[in-house]
Amino acid sequence: MPLRVGADLFPIMLTIQFAERPSESLPAEWGLLPDPMERARRQSWWSSQRIPGRFFPSYDDDAFWPTSVPAAYQQIHPRLEFYEGLLVYRLLFRQRPAGPGERVYLAFEGVADRCRVFLNGKLAGEHDGPFTPFACDVTSLLQEENRLLVFVECKRLEDSVPGENHDWFHFGGIHAPVRLYRVPALCVQAAALETRLEEDRVCLKLRVRLLGDERDERHPVLGKLVAPDGSIAARWTLAARAARWAEAEIALPREALRLWLPQDPFLYRLVVECGADRWEDRVGLREVRARGREILLNGEPIFLRGVCSWITDPVRGPFSASEKTAAEAVRLARELGANYLRAGHWPQSREFVRACDEAGILLWMEIPAYWMPNMAEPAPLRRGLACAEEMLSAFRNAPSIILWSVGNECVYHDVEKPQTNLEYFVRAADFFHEHDATRLVTYTGGIEGAYTPHMAKVCPLELVARLDVVGVNTYAGIHDGTPGEEKDLLPTLTDRIRAASALGRPLLLAEIGIDAVRGETGFDFGEERQEAYYRKIWPILDALRAEGSLQGVSFFTLSDFRTPIKLSKHQDGYNRKGLVDRDHVPKKAFHVVAGAFGALARE
């Protein structure tokens, strides 16, 4: 039973929005075995154990290496730094079996890249996608004494999402927390609160979906919006059937509620009760929409000043920030004067999003369709759309997330040679518009080389028609002063931004930056060169902002990070475009950006 056979992909797991439900943590001490020849799969380790004196199956419990979960295995096992292949995780634990009328779910918040989960010899579930959460129904499998095996394949594949080639180190394993949830047989599967502003009123639509065996019976549901002091700010009553969305809307005077804003990130608790079940999540009341070339937050135009939020957790890796690492990212963003982070090129951890909710940092969240010319082929297309569904389910009520991105630098639509790759991006944008009325949809492409004045190759008009916001990436000016025939593109930056803005959508400069090694004084990768670059480009970008052609910028990037494609002497396996180094020490350019953002915030 291989983890994958061609395009025969894992089924999409049932998505359950656990939100702030109480959970039971599993022990952090697991066992781990790398299995490059996949003997575990061939010998069905999930259902067999070696008897002393026999040679097969080729393992025993004493052979597992002690390991910790959550963690990217490369971060805590130096022997496996460059290993890609099958790993077997094992956990022995005690637990109370499911009681009458109770469902039990084993929830994984992130496993890279693909996995199969076996509990007490039985397949509990499987998942394909390194960054999004999933859950296995273990109601009938859980015993007092339990043996959990998780077969994890960490391997870059041409038809995976992300694909074989990307600009970051390929960390893997069970990199995010694993929890056990107990819910009634009839329970809240998902709930969403949508905020819409109408003159002096706030319209609040509550949407609820139930999970249960009986699908025709209507069940009474009560929703409450609870302030931090315990007072109830709003109530809803509705009747819902299992496996279907039900909704109810109320309107309240604006002065009766407190909106969520970057300068005042006020959070309520959303409580939904149905029968014996009580579901909770933290919510902020905010509306984001596009009007012409403006982005409006709670009805007011906003300019997004930020960075791409690359930061590496010392245990969990770059795409799985712990609470401590998330707090560090927020601290650096605040010191920079940022009100926004482009959290690409993948869905972020729950801890990261929660920290931004609390701090008032706006987020761009992205499907990892990155440098992939084959996204419209069956396997990548399905993986990309599954990621969209799971990402939305995980963060449905997060007020900080205002932008869903369907990908980065991989439409590359040639107007002379039309590519079918466009199909994925159109379908992904349509998915978000159909299922989430609370956020804007975007995509970003590079405008170097393939640039044309009408932007048809960077972002085809068929896709633009489905986007609320257009993003562009450019590294114009990074070759200024270098010998050779390559023309410096900085003088064309204004024209390029104006050409993109002419599409009539709000425009975000999603990436711009230049490498520097902190402390390096030479021209090549010099810190002063990076500082001078930012001093040179900011007046250009600020003028474009003032004329209304640019609605935001995310400099690339917050922190230096590991990547195996940066192999020069100064790079040494790192992308050095960070405004801080890998130890989070600011470079000189950090202070240039902080000064520019601070002046802008004071206007």
Q: Determine the pLDDT at residue 180.
A: 98
Helices (H), 259-404: 323-336, 350-359, 378-394
Q: What is the CATH number of the domain that holds 203?
A: 2.60.40.10
Whether residue 340 is contained in a domain is answered as yes
pLDDT band per the 50, 70, 90 thresholds, residue 14: low
Q: Residue 223 has which token pair?
A: 């929703």
**Stretch 337-366: mean pLDDT:** 96
**560-603 pLDDT, tens digit each:** 999 998 888 899 999 999 999 999 999 999 999 999 999 999 98
Q: Report yes or no on 15 lying in a domain.
A: no
User: Above pLDDT 90, what percent of the chain?
Assistant: 78
Confidence grade of residue 421 (pLDDT, cut at 50, 70, 90): confident
Q: Are residues 295 and 161 in the same domain?
A: no
The confidence score (pLDDT) of residue 47 equals: 85
Write down the pLDDT at residue 417: 57
Percentage of residues in the chain with pLDDT exceeding 70? 94
* Alpha carbon distances (Å) from 84 to 46, 114, 177, 264: 21, 12, 21, 45
pTM confidence score = 0.95
Spatial contact of 27 and 91, defined as CB atoms under 8 Å apart: yes
Asked whether residue 360 is assigned to any structural domain, the reply reads yes
Residues 180 and 191 grouped into a single domain? no
pLDDT at 454: 54
- What's the order of all strands across the beta sheet hosting 122-128? 65-68, 29-34, 85-94, 145-154, 114-119, 122-128
Using DSSP's 3-state secondary structure scheme, residue 389 falls into helix
User: What was the pLDDT predicted at 88?
Assistant: 97
pLDDT for residue 352:
98
The Cα–Cα gap between 262 and 294 comes to: 17
Encoded amino acid at 537, one letter:
I
Least confident of 83-97, 271-285, 491-505: 491-505
- Give per-residue pLDDT as tens, 236-291: 999 999 999 999 999 999 999 999 999 999 999 999 999 999 999 999 999 999 99
pLDDT of residue 496: 87
pLDDT band at 460 (very low <50, low <70, confident <90, very high): confident
Structure token pair of residue 349: 């951890």
Q: Which residue's structure tokens are 């004071």? A: 602
Per residue in 210-225, pLDDT tens? Answer: 999 988 899 999 999 9
User: What is the pLDDT at residue 11?
Assistant: 43
Which DSSP state fits 196?
E
Round to whole Å and give the CA distance between 12 and 368: 17
Secondary structure E strands in 449-512: 469-473, 507-511
Residue at token pair 């089924």: 11
Q: Which helix (H) or strand (E) holds 511?
A: strand 507-511
Region of poorest pLDDT, from 159-163, 436-440, 550-554? 159-163
241, 275, 309: which is the final residue of a domain?
275
10 domain-assigned: no
Do the domain assignments include residue 482? yes
Q: Are residues 206 and 100 in the same domain?
A: no
Q: With cut-offs at 50, 70 and 90, classify the pLDDT of residue 491.
A: confident
CB 190, CB 209: distance < 8 Å: yes
Mean pLDDT of 372-394: 92
**Neighbour-count burial for 365-394, b at 16+ CB within 10 Å, e otherwise:** bbbbbbbbebbbbebbbbbbbbbbebbbbb
In a domain, 168, yes or no: yes
In a domain, 592, yes or no: yes
Same domain, 373 and 441: yes
Q: Scanning the structure block, which residue is given the tokens 């900085």?
A: 490
Find the range with the poorest average confidence among 43-52, 151-160, 416-425, 516-525: 416-425
The residue behind tokens 């004493």 is 62
Residue 418, pLDDT above cutoff 90: no
**pLDDT above 80 (res 477):** yes
**Type of residue at 582:** R
Q: Please, which pLDDT band fits residue 450 given cuts at 50, 70 and 90? A: very low
* Cα–Cα distance, 527 to 517 (Å, whole number): 6
Alpha-carbon distance values, 473 to 3, 164, 362, 447, 513 (Å): 36, 21, 19, 6, 10
**Arithmetic mean of pLDDT, 336-356:** 96
One-letter amino acid at 218 equals R
CATH number for the domain harbouring residue 435? 3.20.20.80
Same domain? 387 vs 253: no
Task: Examine the fold and report which residue of 275, 306, 328 is the final residue of a domain before the chain moves on.
Answer: 275
- Given a cut of 50, whether residue 369 has pLDDT beyond it is yes
Total domain count for the chain? 3
Structure tokens that stand for 531 in this block: 């500082």
The pLDDT score that the predictor gives to residue 592 is: 98
Do 149 and 180 reside in the same domain of the chain?
yes
Same domain, 539 and 454: yes
Identify the pLDDT of residue 5: 33
Q: Is 543 helix (H, G, I), strand (E, B) or coil?
A: helix
CA angle 362–345–130, rounded 5-degree value: 115
Q: What is the pLDDT of residues 303-329, one digit of tens each?
A: 999 999 999 999 999 989 999 999 999
Q: What is the pLDDT of residue 589?
A: 98
In a domain, 1, yes or no: no
Nearest to 541 by CA among 565, 518, 513, 570: 513
Would you state the pLDDT for residue 415?
Answer: 53
Residue 156: give the domain boundaries: 24-184
**Residue 395 and residue 260 share a domain:** no
Average pLDDT score, the chain: 92
CATH assignment of the domain containing 124: 2.60.120.260
Average pLDDT over residues 226-238: 98
Helix/strand/coil for 589: helix
Locate 547 and state its tokens.
């004329």
Q: Mean pLDDT, to the nearest integer, of 393-418?
A: 84
Domain boundary among 245, 275, 305: 275
- Tell whether 147 and 233 lie within a shared domain: no
176 or 487, greater pLDDT = 176
Q: Is 529 in the same domain as 546? A: yes
438 and 337 within one domain: yes
Same domain membership, residue 437 and residue 518: yes
